[in-house]
Amino acid sequence: MNSHMSWRQPGRQVRTVALWSFPEDVLVETGAPDGSVLLLTRWGEIRVADPDPTTVESLRRMSFGPVSLENVLRGVADDGVEDLRRRLSELLDDLQHVVIRSVGLDDGLGPWLSVVPLTPRAACRVTPPPADRPVWLSPAVQTRRDSGGLALEIPGGPYRVVLHRPDGGPLVEALAAPSTLAALTTAAGLPAALVDEAVAHLLATGLAVTGTPAERAAATSMDSQSAGRAHE
């Protein structure tokens, strides 16, 4: 069996895992007298002031590659884990432009999909994708091969999305035309949970859009007319 498709095991229940990391050019410096953590990034220094030990350990592990922060939180007492989870989530929101967010499977094989920030303005909010609306790749998206997987981005856009495994190809092909989540799942031959996560991240980064081409064209036309009236 292809190790990249371990979810094909009969009867296996697929579970997605959120993974977090820094790009290779981000350096994490700890051990400052005031306990702060310094991130050295391509866009300057970022100082994380007064971090708790769990946050320090999370940032340190993220510098080594994709990590599940839930694994870091496992050693925290139950009465404090929710507060730490909230604080970590808020910090990651503030650091979106220097953090790679990934989706993996519980197979120990690393990321299936990664969202890589490309500009200091990169920011997105991932929400569940609409189940009853057609979704498709933005016509502006360009794709290229990337170490056995596929990289998708819009030139000049804030994010690149990388599908690391060969089974990501059929999903990209299915997204060439407007399709519902159910249709995408069938066409790509992937688990529904994985398709939902992939589409959610593509929508959040603007690489995918909702609606039919006719609906998108109508919306674009209305926006252009509104902009024209605003300048009259």
CB 54 within 8 A of CB 72: yes
Q: What's the confidence (pLDDT) of residue 231? A: 43
Instruction: At 41, give phi and psi (nearest 5°).
Output: -120, 170
In which region does residue 78 sit, left (phi positive, over 0), alpha (psi from -120 to 50) or beta (all else)? alpha
CATH 3.90.930.60 fits 1-17+107-232, yes or no: yes
Q: What is the pLDDT of residue 2?
A: 45
Per-residue model confidence as pLDDT tens for the chain (232 residues): 344 555 555 455 779 999 999 999 999 999 999 999 999 999 999 999 999 999 999 999 999 999 999 988 887 767 788 899 999 999 999 999 999 999 999 888 889 999 999 999 999 999 999 999 999 999 999 999 987 789 999 999 999 999 999 999 999 999 999 999 999 999 999 999 999 999 999 999 999 999 887 876 665 544 344 334 444 4
What pLDDT was estimated at residue 107? 84
Q: What is the pLDDT of residue 141?
A: 96
Compute the half-sphere exposure of residue 153: CA atoms within 13 Å on the CB side of its CA: 19
Residue identified by tokens 């609606």 is 211
Closest listed residue to residue 115, CA positions, set 204, 7, 8, 9: 204
CA-CA distance, 49 to 38, in Å (whole number)? 9
Q: What pLDDT is stored for residue 225 in this prediction?
A: 42
- Cα–Cα distance between 213 and 194 in angstroms, integer? 25
E strand or H helix that includes residue 225: helix 213-230
Tokens coding 107: 């197979």
The whole-number pLDDT of residue 80 equals: 80
pTM here is 0.86
Residue 177 has a pLDDT of: 93
What's the CA gap between 8 and 213, in Å, rounded? 34
Enumerate residues 6+ apart whose C-beta is below 8 A from 219: 211
